[in-house]
Amino acid sequence: MNVAHERQAVRDAVVMRVSDITLTTQGRPVPVRLYRPAHPDPAPVLMFFHGGGWVAGDLDTHDSFCRVMCEWAGCAVVAVHYARPPEHRFPRAVEDCYAATEWIAREGADLGLAPSRMAVAGGGSGGGLAAVICQIARDLGGPDIKFQLLLYPLLDCLARNRSREQFAEGFGLTAEKLEGYVSHYLPPGIPRSHPWLSPARADRLDGLPTALIITAGCDLLRDEGRAFARRLKKAGVPVCHKAYAGMCHGFINYPGANPQARRAILLCAEALASHFTEAGTSA
């Protein structure tokens, strides 16, 4: 697909229906936004967890990405509006995301979805949440997640590496801003090494879903994404790591102004569609 066609496709992303609904799970409500593709049910499902350092961001800030994935990957997208600080600190975001994923896996067929073909995705802190949900599902025998799409993910809150130093200032997400997010999210007494906060520090990474990890060349989170991809491969997990040189954290949110962002979005959609097709064939 050439650049002109990529630009037009991003503008023209169409879904059949978008609806805001509230899942009642574990005795509390979890709001989600459901995007349905323009083809007959049942549709495979992408659970999406937005970024923003667990503190900022919402369903609207990542609406365009969800719409494009819905159409291009031919899947339903369930974007989770997890509870955030200051009212709700760690581990509430993880609990809401996992509860919503469990609910869709259990009840999604009644909504015209195919939970047997499920993937998770997120960017930044949302990418970290997606990685955590995969680990919890594996450990608890929960939802059968087929694929994890991690966009410049926040995976290690104790990371000390070259990119954390090199891009600490002047590249969008700064070290000071990241520290502010972590301090707002994390209550006293919780170690930053906790695997629900730093999934790259989990004791084991075997048995996890296939992964596509996208990193940005000028992002302070770059090196932990690279390291996580290497650890997944070593653990026997199929993984593709795609690095975008010269890009800053969050670049995929600006496809109208950035050809690399459009290409990254296309890669995401193609990877999801391929794995949904494989899941459907093996089901």
Q: pLDDT tens, 92-133?
A: 999 999 999 999 999 999 999 999 999 999 999 999 999 999
Query: In degrees, to the nearest 5, what angle opens at C-alpha 162 toward C-alphas 158 and 168?
Result: 75
CATH class of the structural domain 3-282: alpha beta
Domain ranges of the chain: 3-282
Distances (CA, A) of 184 to 49, 84, 137, 214: 18, 9, 26, 26
Tokens for 34, please give them: 């459901």
Is residue 12 over pLDDT 90?
A: no
Specify the pLDDT at position 280. Answer: 67
246: left (phi over 0), alpha (psi -120 to 50) or beta: left
Residue 283 pLDDT level (bands cut at 50, 70, 90)? low
**Structure confidence at residue 40 (pLDDT):** 72
pLDDT tens, 231-279?
999 999 999 999 999 999 999 999 888 999 999 999 999 999 999 988 7
Q: Identify the pLDDT of residue 36.
A: 95
The Cα 95–Cα 196 span in angstroms is 10
Report the alpha-carbon distance of residue 165 to residue 213 in Å, rounded.
21
Question: What tokens appear for 36 in the block?
Answer: 């349905």
Q: Is the pLDDT of residue 183 over 80?
A: yes
